[in-house]
Amino acid sequence: MKAVLLTRVSSKEQEEGHSLEAQSRRLRKYCTDKQLTIDKEFTLVESSTRGDRPEFHEMIKYIKKQNEKVALICDKVDRLQRSFKELPIIEELRSNKKMELHFVSEGQVISNESDSAQLLMYNIHVAMANNYTNSISDNVRRSYNKKIQDGEICGSAPLGYLNTTGTDGKKHVIKDPERCHIIKKMFEDYATGLYSLKEIKNMATSLGLRSKKGKELSKSTVESIIKNPFYAGVMVVKGVHYQHKYEHIISQATYQECEKVRVKRKGSYTKNTKIEFIFKGLIRCTYCGGLLSPEIKKAKYVYLRPNSKNKCGCKQINEKVALGCVESYLDALHIPKIALEAVIGAVRQNVENNAEFSQASISALKRQHAKLEKQKDVLLDLRLEESITQADYNKKVQQLNNELHEIKIKLDECGSIAEKYTITLEYLVTIASRAGDLFKRSGNAEKRKIINLIFSNLLLDGENVTVSMRKPFDLMLNGGDLEKWLR
C-alpha cells in the first residue's frame, strides 16, 4: 500500500524541540517495518487550530487524486488534528476507502473496517488534543491578564522604547537612548500648538529618527505616536487604560496638552495644499462658524472666501485686510522699556518666594509615597501568610500602584514647574515686546506660528476681521497698566 507521511510542528513547538527530523525518522522506520511504500512526504509548519491550514488541505487534495487507498502515516493524532473541524473531511476519505490513518506512537490504525471501540478511542485522542490546546489558551490568557495587571506590556514596545532581556533571563522594556529624546521633543513641540504633524515629522526626520526597521516615519505614524499615552505611563489594552511599570518619556501634563491641540485641529480640518497660506484654517465666519478658504486670483492676489453653501452674511476679503488687522494688534503689543526688565525680575522673584512652599509640597509627597510603599509591604506579608486571597491582594496592590503613580507625576511636576514657569514667562514677555517687527520680517510659515501663539480666535464679521488674544498678551496691548505689571 502507498504511504503518505505527515510531519507537523507549529513554530512554538519547533522551539521546544518537537523536530520534524525526529518525526520523519520514526515514520520511515514504521513504513519499513510494515512494508509500506512511501509515495510522498508532507511537512507542515502551521498551527492545527488557527487559520485555514492551507498545507493540510493541499495534502488532502493530493490524497483525493490517488486511484487507490492511501495510508496516511502520522506520529500522533495531535500531529494531524487538535480539533474536530477536520473530522468530516477525514471521515469522508476513511469511509469511502480512500484513506486509512496510522498513528505510530499511539499504535492506532483507523480504516473503513475499524469497529466502534477503535473509532471511540480515536475520537478520545482528538478530544484530548483539543483539551490540551484549550488548556494552553487558558494558561496564556491568565498569564496575559496578570502581566497587564502588573503593568507589563505584552508584545513589542512602541518607538522610543526597547524590548530587552536582562541577565536574570526576564524580559524588560527600557527607554531607547538613540530615540527617546527625539520622541520627547516631538511631544513638547506639538504641545505648543505652533507645529503641524508634517512639521513634527520633518523635524524628527532631520534629527535622524527612523522606525525600528530603519524606515522614515510617515505622517500617520507620527500621529499615532502623538496619540499614544504609553509615553506618559499609560498603556491601552482592548480599550482599557492601565498604568505601566516602565520609565516615562513625557509627563501626563505634556500628553494632555498634545491631546488638546490634536482634538482642536481635528475639528478644524482643512484641505492640504502645496502653498503655505498664512490664514489657512485660522479664520472662521462669525455667523455660521465655517472656515474661510484661501484662494489665489490672477496668479498673485490671495483672497479669503467663506463657504457659499452656508449662505451667511460674510463676504470674501483680500488677505491684506486680515494681515493689516493682525499687524495692528501686534504693533500695539508693547511693554515700556523701563518696565521690561522689572517685569522679568518680578517674575523671577515671585518664583523664589514660592520656592519654600514648593519644597514643603515635595516633602509631603515623599512622606505619602513612603507610607504607600510600607502598605504594599504589609499586604505582601498578609498574602504570604495567606491571610488574604490572591484576588484581594492584586486588587489592593493595583490601587496602591495607581496612587504611587499619581504621586510620582506630582513630584516630577514640582521638580520642574518653577524653572519652566520662569523660562516661559520670560519668553512670552520678550516675544511680545517685538512681535510686530518679527511678524513683518517672517515668512508665511513663521507668520502662522506667531498668529497661533498670540491669538486664540480670528473671526470674519461681514467684511471686518475681529480677534481675541491669548493671555497674557491681552494685558500687553498699548503697554497695559504699568502698575499692574509690576505688582
pLDDT tens string 151-207: 889 889 999 999 998 887 888 999 999 899 999 999 998 988 778 898 899 989 888
Helix ranges (DSSP H) in 87-151: 87-95, 116-149
Identical topology for domains 2-146 and 170-266: no
Instruction: Report the pLDDT value the prediction gives residue 342, as an integer from 0 to 100.
Output: 62
CA-to-CA separations, 256 to 11, 80, 229, 411, in angstroms, rounded = 42, 53, 9, 17
Tell me how many degrees the CA angle 369-370-376 measures, rounded to the nearest 5: 95
Helix%, strand%, coil% for the chain, nearest 5: 55, 15, 30
Helix axes 252-266, 180-191, angle to 10 degrees: 50
pLDDT digits over 286-338, tens only? 888 888 888 888 778 888 888 767 677 678 889 999 999 989 888 887 666 66
> 150 pLDDT exceeds 50?
yes
pLDDT digits over 45-88, tens only? 877 666 678 889 999 999 999 999 999 999 999 889 888 888 89
Whether 476 and 335 have beta carbons less than 8 Å apart is answered as yes
Beta bridge partners of 460: 285, 465
C-alpha cell at 173: 522594556
Instruction: Report the pLDDT value the prediction gives residue 269, as an integer from 0 to 100.
Output: 47
Average pLDDT over residues 398-416: 76
Question: Quick one: CA torsion of 277, 280, 283, 288, rounded to 10 degrees?
Answer: 140
Chain CA centroid to CA 395, Å: 26
CA-to-CA separations, 137 to 126, 143, 320, 343, in angstroms, rounded = 17, 10, 67, 66
> 421 pLDDT exceeds 50?
no
How many angstroms separate the CA atoms of 157 and 174, rounded?
A: 9
Q: How many CB atoms are located within 10 Å of the residue 478 CB?
A: 9
| Maximum average pLDDT range among 69-73, 392-396, 442-446 | 69-73
Q: Domain 2-146: what homologous superfamily? A: Resolvase, N-terminal catalytic domain (3.40.50.1390)
* 140 confidence band (pLDDT: 50, 70, 90): confident
Pairing of strands 108-110, 70-74: unpaired
Burial of 447 (0-12, 13-18, 19+ CB in 10 A): buried
Question: Quick one: CA torsion of 24, 27, 29, 33, rounded to 10 degrees?
Answer: -170
* 404 confidence band (pLDDT: 50, 70, 90): confident
Instruction: Report the pLDDT value the prediction gives residue 16, as an integer from 0 to 100.
Output: 46
| Residue type at 481 in one-letter notation | D
How many angstroms separate the CA atoms of 409 and 311, rounded?
A: 50
Q: How many CB atoms are located within 10 Å of the residue 301 CB?
A: 11
| Residue type at 438 in one-letter notation | L
pLDDT digits over 3-20, tens only? 999 998 876 545 444 578
Average pLDDT over residues 346-375: 70
C-alpha cell at 63: 490524497
* 478 confidence band (pLDDT: 50, 70, 90): low
pLDDT digits over 97-137, tens only? 999 999 999 999 999 999 999 999 998 988 888 888 777 77
> 457 pLDDT exceeds 70?
yes
Whether 265 and 199 have beta carbons less than 8 Å apart is answered as no
C-alpha cell at 112: 473503513
* 422 confidence band (pLDDT: 50, 70, 90): very low
How many angstroms separate the CA atoms of 406 and 400, rounded?
A: 10
> 482 pLDDT exceeds 60?
no
* 414 confidence band (pLDDT: 50, 70, 90): low
Instruction: Report the pLDDT value the prediction gives residue 73, as an integer from 0 to 100.
Output: 95
pLDDT mean across residues, the chain: 82
What's the Rg (C-alpha) of the chain? 35
Q: 170-266, what's its fold? A: Hect, E3 ligase catalytic domain fold (3.90.1750)
Instruction: Report the pLDDT value the prediction gives residue 274, as an integer from 0 to 100.
Output: 59
User: What 8-state DSSP symbol labels residue 318?
Assistant: E
C-alpha cell at 146: 496578570
| Domain ranges (residues) in the chain | 2-146, 170-266, 341-415
pLDDT digits over 256-284, tens only? 999 988 887 765 544 555 577 888 888 88
DSSP, collapsed to helix, strand or coil, labels residue 193 as coil
Instruction: Report the pLDDT value the prediction gives residue 142, as an integer from 0 to 100.
Output: 79
Whether 74 and 41 have beta carbons less than 8 Å apart is answered as no
DSSP H or E stretch at residue 258: helix 252-266
